[in-house]
Structure 1
Amino acid sequence: MVRVGVIGGTGYTALEVMRLLQRHPHAEVTVVTSRSETGPVSSSHPSLTGQITVNFTNPDPDEIAEKTDVCFCCLPHKASMDCIPSLLASDVRVVDLSADYRLSDPSVYEKWYGHVHTDPTRLGTTVYGLPELYRDQIRGQNLVANPGCYTSTSILALAPFLKADLIDPQAIIIDAKSGVSGAGRSPKVATLYAECNESFSAYSVGNHRHAPEIEQVLSNASGKSVEVLFTPHLVPMDRGIFATIYATPARDTTESELKEALRAFYSNEKFVRVVDHLPRTKDVAYTNFCDVTVRLVRGRVMILAVLDNMIKGAAGVAVQNFNLISDFDEETALL
């Protein structure tokens, strides 16, 4: 059994990580940390009653290392980089669900997150944890930068067409919608029931932190300089991401050719389903699937992709990464 720690255990993502690990035959949750909560984990997550029997604790990294082999770091950005170097120094492997190790350039991180990175030598060398693109690089790593939900949806939707030179990498518009759980569990005025119910709104227009991450990963994966216009929206539902992406064809093409490129790219992928119908968030809720399709409309490429922001967009892909670095079957606990 692999001894697992969940660092920052009170949020929605941590809850989903623990739910998935409960059915993992080779993992045992031995540490769940919190700076604010004490007592049983079920006191904050009643759905885990009788499943996770450890209590919340607030140990230092050395104490965590004594009880764990792998940690899922579910802390906010900046807090992750404060503890991860110590865990790695104690030979604890880490799947980091924050944004602290996703970007390659410390100056880009500082610009978008407003903090100087205190562990800059690992930026650019930490593997990006999207198995469909970086599976071979993830295997055996001691640190994996888990992707975000908007980024996973956008990258999985666009990568096949960019790598096949089917779309213009400089003319991409991503119109994406997220359920309220994507904002986290901490109370915020914008996500109060009375504020977001019966409403639909855009936010962070032109300055969302996921835009440089999407551009960086797609540029690296395709070998082209990719630019996107990314606009996120808040939808009054619990969970789910729906991305409608508009691109300009790089040459004459047909809808059949576009669909075939998508199917060929994901022909051996279990968790990306290329569908003919228009996808819905309900069809992927509580699963690790991303459903994607494509249309050619008035000479424009329209890609539609959905996933569960808490599973394939966070905890599910984190478990995929855990399986890969631990040399388990990648699908374990996810089907």
Structure 2
Amino acid sequence: MIRAGIVGGTGYGGMELLRLSLQHPQLEVVALTSRSEHGPVGAAHPHLRGLVELEFDDRTPQELGPEVDVLFLATPHGAAASAAHAALSAAPELRVIDLSGAHRLADPALHAAAYGFEHPHPERSAQAIYGLPECGARELVADARLVANPGCHATAALLATWPLVHEGFVTGPMTVASATGSTGAGAHPGAGSHHPRRSHDYRPYRPLRHQHAPEIRACLAAGAEGEVPPLHLVPHSAPLSRGLLATAFCPVAPGREQAAVDAVHATYEHAPLVRVLDQPPAVHAVAGSCLADVSVAVDDGMVCVMVALDNLGHGMAGTAMQNANLMCGLPEATGLLVPGAGP
């Protein structure tokens, strides 16, 4: 049995990791840390009452690292930057998956611009593998000690655009519009997630300036032949709690539209957590699951790729668990092939 620890167990990322671990046949969460909560986990996460016997503890990452095989970091960016270094320094053979943005950008200047602070250990970001297995990272993740889990908008945008970019179909700037649920704003309520404001509203936020845009561009550029066309990201706040829908507009040469569609199908033919549909995807079909639904529409010289996923599932904790599977030598979908709740 793989022994796993979670640093930061009170947020939605840690909560979802713990929930997913309950259905995993070969991974057990043996420690869950928190700086604010004490006592039984079920008191903070009522839906896990009677299913989880753990209690929150206050061990540091360097104390926890030598006691587990895999360590998930579900903390804010700044805390994760220090925690990964501390844990790996204490246990060099440890496998660490960081759900924050602390290690997604190897360039220190890009990191500081995106997240607003200088990374205290930029060498760790240079060592980290960007962990989106469907987009060329499977073998790299399997050999990694530190994986930077992608952001939710980035995951959807990359699932939409990566096949077309890496097969050389895209001829000009791409635009991605994505809408996410309020859980994407985290467990602590704010103006952006306050129910009276959010529940009947739909609005863009951080248009063309979102912190996930640089990691999308970096992933597309990795291994691509030639210059990658520009990509513009416009995220939206949607009136739902969990789920994300992204629509990518990718120009292609007239006459190559069907070949581009075929490329999307071929890319995900053997991806166990991605379903390619012949109709537009819907968030309700993936909410509560670790699956991503992809669909493609075409017009003269334009390919539109649509992606629906759960922002806490395939957009966060599900991919983190997928990465842990690969790092531990398991099939990537182990414990993750469970449908959503439906309507």
**Residue from 273, 276, 281 that aligns with 1:274:** 276
The change in CA–CA distance for 1:214 and 1:225 in structure 2 (over 3 A counts) is: same
Contact 2:130 2:147 in 1 (8 A): yes
Q: Secondary structure at the match of 1:37?
A: coil
Give the superposition deviation at 1:66: 4.3
Partner residue, 2:127: 125
Moved more, 296-305 or 8-17: 296-305
Partner residue, 1:75: 75
**Residue from 227, 230, 249 that aligns with 1:227:** 230
1:145 aligns with 2:145: no
Partners in 2 of 1:312 and 1:149 — Cα distance? 8
1:248 aligns with 2:251: yes
Runs of 4+ in 1 over 4 A off after TM superposition: none
Partner residue, 2:88: 88
Contact 2:144 2:327 in 1 (8 A): yes
Partners in 2 of 1:39 and 1:59 — Cα distance? 14
Q: Deviations over 1:80-99 (max 9, x none)?
A: 01111111122232111000
Give the superposition deviation at 1:55: 1.0
1:208 aligns with 2:210: yes
1:47-62 aligned at under 5 Å gives the runs 47-62=47-62
Partners in 1 of 2:297 and 2:54 — Cα distance? 49
Give the superposition deviation at 1:253: 2.5
**Residue from 165, 170, 174 that aligns with 1:172:** 174
Partners in 1 of 2:284 and 2:333 — Cα distance? 21
CA RMSD of aligned residues (A): 1.4
Partners in 1 of 2:331 and 2:114 — Cα distance? 36
Contact 2:103 2:125 in 1 (8 A): yes
Q: Secondary structure at the match of 2:126?
A: coil
1:268-307 aligned at under 5 Å gives the runs 268-307=270-309
Give the superposition deviation at 1:225: 2.7
The change in CA–CA distance for 1:119 and 1:226 in structure 2 (over 3 A counts) is: farther
Partners in 1 of 2:65 and 2:257 — Cα distance? 52
Partners in 1 of 2:114 and 2:164 — Cα distance? 27
Q: Secondary structure at the match of 2:222?
A: helix
Structure 1 unaligned segments of length 5 or more: list them: none
Partners in 2 of 1:162 and 1:242 — Cα distance? 20
Partner residue, 1:17: 17
Moved more, 93-102 or 58-67: 58-67
Give the superposition deviation at 1:254: 4.5
Q: Deviations over 1:186-214 (max 9, x none)?
A: 11022111111111011112211011111
Give the superposition deviation at 1:298: 4.3
Contact 2:73 2:97 in 1 (8 A): yes
Partner residue, 1:217: 219
Give the superposition deviation at 1:154: 0.6
Partners in 2 of 1:179 and 1:221 — Cα distance? 32
Partner residue, 1:329: 331
Q: Deviations over 1:258-298 (max 9, x none)?
A: 22111111111111111110111111112222111211224
- Structure 2 residue identity aligned to 1:26: Q
Give the superposition deviation at 1:139: 0.7
Q: TM-score, normalised by structure 2?
A: 0.94
Q: Deviations over 1:133-154 (max 9, x none)?
A: 2001111321111111110111
Partners in 2 of 1:328 and 1:309 — Cα distance? 24
Partner residue, 2:106: 104
Q: Secondary structure at the match of 2:159?
A: helix
Contact 2:32 2:57 in 1 (8 A): yes
Q: TM-score, normalised by structure 1?
A: 0.96
Structure 2 unaligned segments of length 5 or more: list them: 338-343
Contact 1:110 1:116 in 2 (8 A): yes
Q: Secondary structure at the match of 1:213?
A: helix
- Structure 2 residue identity aligned to 1:208: H
Contact 1:219 1:226 in 2 (8 A): no
- Structure 2 residue identity aligned to 1:149: C
Partners in 1 of 2:306 and 2:100 — Cα distance? 26
Partner residue, 1:316: 318
1:43 aligns with 2:57: no
Partners in 2 of 1:167 and 1:333 — Cα distance? 35
1:32 aligns with 2:51: no
Partner residue, 2:340: none
Moved more, 2-11 or 216-225: 216-225
Contact 2:161 2:250 in 1 (8 A): no
Partners in 2 of 1:48 and 1:120 — Cα distance? 37
Contact 1:258 1:294 in 2 (8 A): no
